[in-house]
Amino acid sequence: MFETTKAIRANLTKGLIESLHSFPDDYERINDTEISGFHIRLGKSRNGFRQGKYYLYYRLGGRKGVQRFYLIGNIKDMTIKQARHVAQELKVKIARGEDPYAERKAMQQEAKADQNAMTVNDLLDEFINTYVMANRKRPEEVVRSFNADVRPTIGSVQLHQLDKRLVIVKCFDPIIRRGSRVQANKTLSLLKQTLDFGVERGLLASNCIKDIRRRAVGGNEHSKKRALSFEEIEQVFTRLPQSGLSNSVQNILRLCLLTGCRVSEVTGMEQAELDIPNRLWTIPAERTKGKLNQGKTHHVHLTDLMIEIIDSQKIESEQLSNRFIFPTHGGKKSKAGDSPIDARTVSKAVNRKLGFFGLAEPFTPHDLRRTCSTRLPDLDVEAVVIEKILNHQLEGMLGIYNQFPYFKKRAEALDKFSAVIKPLMFPNSTIEPAQTNQIHSYQLMSYDMPNTAYYY
């Protein structure tokens, strides 16, 4: 059986395995002296290390029966002790008349049949249930993206039929044709993660889109720089009441500008987060931006103008919900008041009315957050205070060692900003602007230091 290769007999030990690099290249097999048929097949040397795999040779049906070479494992992945134990177990099975080689091949064929039967939809389900739900802060966004752009296009495709060209043409190109290049890139990123997951779980041999780059799908993205000038702020917000946008959307836009918060943070505002007597809005960590379990609770000072807007909104919202300040009015999938208005709904509503506002350059609701951070320096607000208002992590060593909340300065900055914005937002209002030098008293327990009170 070994006539075609140069082989030696030796007791396979850890020391022998470690010395394989010293064996001549023409030695191709080392047969164990203890277990009949157990041997190592030697490969080429790479980087000073001799490749090798453990095998067990056996014959079924006597001298003229079937010969088997059963692969036990690679010497890089298994110790000789582990391989020897497997070989002994195989010998027991063979003695009972079993054929481990045939059994393994049957299992592999069955697994391949299962793989061939699985579709992209099956993989998406497993990815969502096993990984997304446990590791994503907002799993509903992944589910929504899959439902919109992946399941309808390639969901029914069997995994073994999946290839790069099919994914590009069927999945990515339709997204690009409707002008959603950013969404195309997000879908690319999500699908890459999903197919990598499939490879790790043994459902796919490889990730067929692993080497596709964003520039080949949605194109390279550049950070947006749109911020409204004070003149544009006045133009937008004086026209806002006649825009046809709902009162809720109008108030969301006002608060996005005044607080510098993200649209989703404003739309998800809850009654329980508001402490009006102490002029404080506390956004819990699970609603702020960041990875799962890595978000930061954000404390927002409420100015007189913000409180006026929230109070006016409550008159409407309390008819629908005792929880959300901006409740949905209901639809096909939810009842009125069961959930807050979706941030995407706000963006779509504004996009439909862009022509009405008459700006030379369009804007999005998120641009109002950038407008707040851009206009605050005009009021001599320090950069570090602005970063704290935005709930940003400070960069570099500053982010590690400067944990001071700057809440007093943040409150002063937002008061000052509201005083400047109010006449632009409500030019005909008879209510006096908030006083920028107003002294407030706050007690923030467990804010940055336990049981510490901040009085301003």
Give the CATH number of the domain where residue 208 resides. 1.10.150.130
Highest mean pLDDT among 149-163, 217-231, 293-307: 149-163
pTM for this predicted structure: 0.57
Same domain, 161 and 59: no
Q: Based on the structure, what is the number of domains in the chain? A: 3
Of the residues 190, 216, 242, the one at which a domain ends: 216
Residue 449 forms part of a structural domain: no
82 and 162 belong to one structural domain: no
Backbone angles phi, psi at 248, to 5 degrees: -65, -45
Residues 245, 314, single domain; the answer is yes
Q: For residue range 1-28, what is the model confidence (pLDDT) as tens digits?
A: 444 468 899 999 999 988 888 888 788 8
Is residue 194 situated within a structural domain? yes
Rounded percentage of the chain residues whose pLDDT exceeds 90:
54
For range 96-105, the mean pLDDT: 91
User: How does pLDDT run across 42-78, given as a tens digit for each residue?
Assistant: 987 777 778 899 999 999 887 888 899 999 999 888 8
Do 80 and 204 sit in the same domain of this protein?
Answer: no
CA distances (Å), origin 351, targets 218, 243, 260: 21, 12, 20
Question: 112 in a domain, yes or no?
Answer: no
Euclidean distance between CA atoms 378 and 80, whole angstroms:
72
pLDDT at site 443:
35
Q: Choose the weakest-confidence range: 210-219, 246-255, 435-444.
A: 435-444
pLDDT score recorded for residue 3: 43
Backbone angles phi, psi at 46, to 5 degrees: -135, 120
For residue 222, tell me if it sits in a domain: no
- Distance of alpha carbon 44 from alpha carbon 52, whole angstroms: 8
Q: Which domain, by its residues, includes 263?
A: 230-425
Q: What contacts 104, CB < 8 A, 6 or more positions away?
A: 70
Answer with the one of 185, 216, 247 that is the final residue of a domain. 216
In a domain, 310, yes or no: yes
Residues 353 and 256 reside in one and the same domain = yes
Tokens of 98: 């079993």
- 242: CATH: 1.10.443.10
Residues 59, 60, 61: CA angle, nearest 5 degrees: 125
pLDDT at 396: 55
Residue 215 neighbours by CB distance under 10 Å: 10
Is residue 2 included in any domain, yes or no? no
Task: Pick the more confident residue, 160 or 399.
Answer: 160
Mark whether 393 and 294 lie in a shared domain: yes
271 and 299 housed in the same domain: yes
In a domain, 301, yes or no: yes
pLDDT, tens digit, 9 for 90 and up, residues 271-310: 999 999 999 999 998 888 766 555 688 999 999 999 999 9
The answer to whether the CB of 91 falls within 8 A of the CB of 35 is: yes
Residue 432 lies in a domain: no
Q: Taken in order 207, 208, 209, 210, is the CA torsion positive or negative? A: positive
88 and 153 fall within a common domain: no
Q: Are 208 and 164 in contact (CB under 8 A)?
A: yes
Whether residues 197 and 279 share a domain: the answer is: no
Q: What is the pLDDT of residues 362-403, one digit of tens each?
A: 999 999 999 999 999 999 999 889 989 988 875 554 544 445
Residues 368 and 401 in one domain: yes
- 386, 243 Cβ separation under 8 angstroms: no
Please check whether residues 130 and 77 belong to one and the same domain.
Answer: no
Assign residue 36 the CATH number of its domain: 3.30.160.390
